Amino acid sequence: MSAVRVNGGLLRALALAYASGWDKGARETMSHRQLQIGLALFMLVFATLLPDWQTRVGIGVAWLLAYLPWILLGAAAITAYIYDLKKFSLMVVLCLAVYAIFRNHLMVMEPGSTDQLLFWEVCLLAPLLIYLYDQLPDHWLFDGYFLAIPLALAPCGLLLLAHQYFPELERQALEAVVGGLGGDPAPWVALLLILLYCALCALTQYRNQDKGDSAALVCLVALALLFANHEIHGFAPLVFTYLGLALWILLLFHGFQVVYFDPLTEIRNRRRLDAMLRGRGGRYQLAMVDVDHFKRFNDTFGHDVGDEVLRMVAQRLSRVGAGGVVFRYGGEEFTILFPSADRSSCLAALAEVRMAIAAYPFRIRARESRGRIGRLTPGGSDLPPQTITVSIGLAQAAPSDGGPEEVIRRADTALYQAKEEGRNCIRTDTKAGRGIRRKVA
């Protein structure tokens, strides 16, 4: 018997979603959605290889595998709740409930028993609830409206009532649905639904620009594998152990993003800069970048527009060449760290990105009921495009420097010189030669 009977379209759909999810302009490192899709793809390979290994393990390992899902998933649910990832936590708790049902009731299903009906209820309801938790707005679920949770649980309650009081009627209804697809309990209907849910979840993640509170994709793939291979002894502990590990990887990645990335601009923050500069040798260059007249712009058009300016500048700075890595230093200041000692290539990369920012027509639209940013203009019309410029100071590390603070100080001095000499230009520290200074000017 084949170890896994997974619809081939599921693998192809996930591969396409993974390829389409790579957005080079969105973030400098792997995003949450890319990591989640990668874990889902690896789960398919994992489920193909490990069932054969599981049949050869000893009693002690098998006992450990049976209890690992409780430990991993339970700890993941608590940690997600502490991180205020409430949707994430709900999905994990639901997966724990599915594992409990399979462990206690569905390890062995007698033909014609009510366990087969329970199997179908889990197949149809669990993916639906995962999908609803992923799609419904947070304020529906958690801010006191109490509308979505009853809607999500209503199908579950109806089916459980039918299972309890009208089992024969429920059996007839299920057989009418699945009779032409292999009979009860062949889970092809559930697999097709899960495939649809996976595609919709991947699309939602792509459109919502990388929501970090979702674990829907890996949960849906785990459920699909479980439903397709429920008759394989010991498969449920294996797939839920992997699910627990995958969820912990997502949580650790979330923690890394919270600590080392700026939530507004989605680029590395000052803490990450300090960590990268710590212990680095003298062969690097550092540029300080400041948005010109940002306070006046922010006071005139509002903080929402100012935030959009910072996002735009961060996005274009992230495209800098010469191997530069961009950080938000604080406020309207950014830092670019170049690993190269070739000053001319760094200056060329900075000049290119400075001109790209100045050439960008930043539009401030009138605020409408749909929530677009900006302040109302006379007559509700849009303002003409605004020009955003930056000033840049570049400094090169030297063996005589006492630490990165001296390099940052020299870069700041060069930045202030650029401000004093008219803005929208680049100035270098005193270690630059006169020829380079004339070229920069």
C-alpha to C-alpha distance for 285 and 163, rounded to whole angstroms: 69
Residues 256 and 282 in one domain: no
Q: Report the Cα 164 to chain-centroid distance in Å.
A: 41
2: in domain: no
245: in domain: yes
Q: Quote the number of domains for the chain.
A: 2
Residues 290 and 160 in one domain: no
Percent of the chain's residues with pLDDT above 70: 68
Could you tell me which residues come within 8 angstroms of residue 109 by beta carbon, excluding any fewer than 6 positions away? 115, 116, 119, 185
pLDDT given at position 206: 65
- The residue from 235, 260, 285 where one domain ends is 260
Residues 327 and 293 in one domain: yes
Indicate which CATH number applies to the domain containing 288.
Answer: 3.30.70.270
Residues 182 and 309 in one domain: no
Residues 83 and 200 in one domain: yes
Residues 192 and 45 in one domain: yes
Q: Which amino acid is at 42?
A: F
Distances (CA, A) of 290 to 198, 298, 330, 420: 43, 14, 10, 13
CB 332 within 8 A of CB 294: yes
Residues 237 and 283 in one domain: no
pLDDT given at position 160: 67
C-alpha to C-alpha distance for 135 and 172, rounded to whole angstroms: 32
pLDDT averaged over the chain? 75
Residues 357 and 241 in one domain: no
Q: For residue range 1-51, what is the model confidence (pLDDT) as tens digits?
A: 344 444 344 334 333 333 333 333 334 456 777 787 788 777 777 777 666
274: in domain: yes
Range of the domain at 181: 8-260
Alpha helices in 289-331 (DSSP H): 294-301, 303-317
Q: For residue range 125-171, what is the model confidence (pLDDT) as tens digits?
A: 888 888 888 877 776 666 654 555 566 566 666 766 776 777 777 66
CB 54 within 8 A of CB 236: no
The tokens 């520290």 sit on which residue? 429
Residues 19 and 133 in one domain: yes
Q: What is the pTM of this model?
A: 0.71
At what angle are helices 114-135 and 216-228 packed, to 10 degrees? 160
Q: Is 278 exposed, middle or buried (0-12, 13-18, 19+ CB in 10 A)?
A: exposed
Confidence bin at 52 (pLDDT 50/70/90)? low
